[in-house]
């Protein structure tokens, strides 16, 4: 982050996520897809800095990928909450990005969720979690999960969430040098859209895990397939979300760090622990 954050700004963490399993069970009349997925929080974070203003201005000082600020999810989250609650205060926002964009790790959605949760406290809105989740859904399908704040089995477009116990694994994540367009993948003619819905979803019952978008991404983005083939030497890799990131699950930190040391010279890579709860879960 190039801009210096003033000392009066408060820091809030925004963790990334992995889709350990992702299936597309149908297409809705509104064009969206019905999904089923296991969402897992991981210890890879953006940091959101917030400083309240006396006037009503909302200013994002570090827009992601040089987007116009009004298109950034973090900015839009602040505007949404301000308008919903009739707040007269404003806020200055800085984002220290560590989660790669275009990777399927949910960084933009997580930033937006953290803004909603933090400003709900700082502006004293006192909106209950369920209502905050509803607000978050209007920003993006992954935002509700981060506000939900626990590892979960998700249905619908991602808003129907049930908490799920997930083993305390470590993960090695690789980001191929390509930005995958979610819109292109969802509109692809070859995308699997008819996976059978789960009757009693549990972590064990859904194994072996898969990602219904993976084959289409491999076809459209050969860089992702190449990274997948490389990672197969170390285990059973899988893509998260609509890509481009791939991950390996490891039962111990030692195993994860050993693999990371082998691949980090070849690819942009991360070695992180799974989380059981969002850092702001109790805010």
Q: Report the CATH number that the domain containing residue 19 is assigned in CATH.
A: 3.30.230.10
Query: What SS3 class is residue 157?
Result: coil
Give dist(CA 192, CA 51) in Å, integer. 45
Q: Where are the alpha helices (DSSP H) in the chain?
A: 73-85, 107-122, 129-137, 143-148, 182-187, 214-220, 222-231, 253-263
**112 and 178 share one domain:** no
Binding residues for ATP: 100-110
First to last CA, the chain: 26
CATH of the domain at 268: 3.30.70.890
Q: How much is the average pLDDT of 245-252?
A: 97
* Residue 43 located in a structural domain: yes
**73 and 150 share one domain:** yes
Give dist(CA 260, CA 8) in Å, integer. 37
> Under 8 Å CB-to-CB from 259, ≥6 apart: which residues?
172, 234, 235, 248, 250, 271
* C-alpha pair distances (Å), 96 with each of 14, 123, 152: 10, 22, 26
Give dist(CA 257, CA 282) in Å, integer. 30
**264 and 230 share one domain:** yes
pLDDT of residue 187: 82
Q: How much is the average pLDDT of 71-94?
A: 97
Binding residues: 100-110
Domain end point (choices 100, 129, 163): 163
21 catalytic? Reply is no
Domain end point (choices 131, 163, 195): 163
**pLDDT 10s digits, 157-206:** 888 999 999 999 999 999 999 988 888 888 888 887 889 988 778 899 88
- In this prediction, residue 151 has a pLDDT band, given cuts at 50, 70 and 90, of very high
Q: Which residue is catalytic, options 72, 92, 111, 142?
A: 142
* Residue 1 located in a structural domain: no
**43 and 137 share one domain:** yes
121 catalytic? Reply is no
**pLDDT 10s digits, 115-142:** 999 999 999 999 999 999 999 999 999 9
Q: Are 1 and 9 in contact (CB under 8 A)?
A: no
pLDDT of residue 181: 84
**132 and 176 share one domain:** no
* Residue 15 located in a structural domain: yes
Sheet bearing 238-239, strands edge to edge: 238-239, 246-250, 170-175, 268-273
Phi and psi for 78 in degrees, rounded to 5? -65, -45
* Residue 4 located in a structural domain: no
**46 and 25 share one domain:** yes
Q: Where are the alpha helices (DSSP H) in 138-181?
A: 143-148
* Residue 186 located in a structural domain: yes
Rg value, the chain, Cα: 19
Number of domains in the chain: 2
Query: What SS3 class is residue 236?
Result: coil
**56 and 150 share one domain:** yes
**118 and 185 share one domain:** no
Cβ-based neighbour number of residue 11 at 10 Å? 12
Residue 2 pLDDT > 80: no
* Residue 282 located in a structural domain: no
Burial class (CB in 10 A: 0-12, 13-18, 19+), 258: middle
> pTM of the full predicted structure?
0.95
Peptide bond into 244 cis (omega under 30): yes
pLDDT of residue 157: 82
* Residue 2 located in a structural domain: no
Cβ-based neighbour number of residue 105 at 10 Å? 28
**149 and 191 share one domain:** no
Cβ-based neighbour number of residue 276 at 10 Å? 15
Full residue range of the structural domain in which residue 159 is found: 10-163
**177 and 145 share one domain:** no
Q: How much is the average pLDDT of 220-228?
A: 97
Give dist(CA 97, CA 193) in Å, integer. 33
Domain end point (choices 107, 136, 163): 163
- In this prediction, residue 255 has a pLDDT band, given cuts at 50, 70 and 90, of very high
Q: Are 189 and 252 in contact (CB under 8 A)?
A: no
Peptide bond into 162 cis (omega under 30): no
> Under 8 Å CB-to-CB from 147, ≥6 apart: which residues?
113, 116, 117, 129, 132, 133, 136
């Amino acid at each position: 982050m190039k801009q210096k954050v003033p000392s009066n700004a408060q820091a809030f963490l925004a963790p990334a996520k992995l889709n350990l399993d992702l299936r597309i069970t149908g297409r809705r009349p509104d064009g969206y897809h019905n999904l089923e997925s296991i969402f897992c929080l991981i210890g890879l974070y953006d940091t959101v800095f917030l400083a309240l203003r006396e006037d009503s201005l909302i200013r994002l000082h570090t827009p992601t990928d040089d987007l116009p600020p009004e298109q950034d999810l973090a900015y839009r989250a602040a505007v949404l909450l301000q308008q919903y609650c009739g707040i007269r205060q404003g806020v200055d926002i800085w984002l220290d990005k560590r989660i790669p964009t275009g990777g399927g790790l949910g960084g933009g959605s997580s930033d937006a969720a953290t803004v909603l949760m933090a400003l709900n406290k700082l502006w004293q809105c006192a909106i209950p979690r369920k209502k905050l989740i509803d607000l978050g859904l209007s920003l993006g399908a992954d935002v509700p999960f981060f506000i939900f704040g626990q590892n979960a089995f998700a249905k619908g477009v991602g808003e129907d969430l049930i908490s799920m116990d997930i083993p305390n694994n470590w993960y090695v994540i690789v980001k191929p040098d390509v930005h995958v367009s979610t819109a292109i993948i969802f509109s692809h003619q070859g995308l699997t859209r008819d996976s059978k819905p789960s009757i009693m979803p549990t972590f064990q019952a859904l194994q072996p895990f898969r990602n219904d978008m993976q084959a289409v991404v491999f076809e459209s983005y050969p860089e992702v397939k190449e990274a997948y083939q490389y990672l197969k030497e170390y285990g059973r890799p899988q893509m998260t979300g609509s890509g481009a990131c791939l991950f390996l699950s490891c039962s111990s930190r030692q195993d994860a760090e050993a693999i990371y040391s082998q691949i980090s010279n070849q690819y942009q890579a991360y070695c992180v622990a799974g989380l059981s709860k969002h850092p702001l879960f109790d805010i």
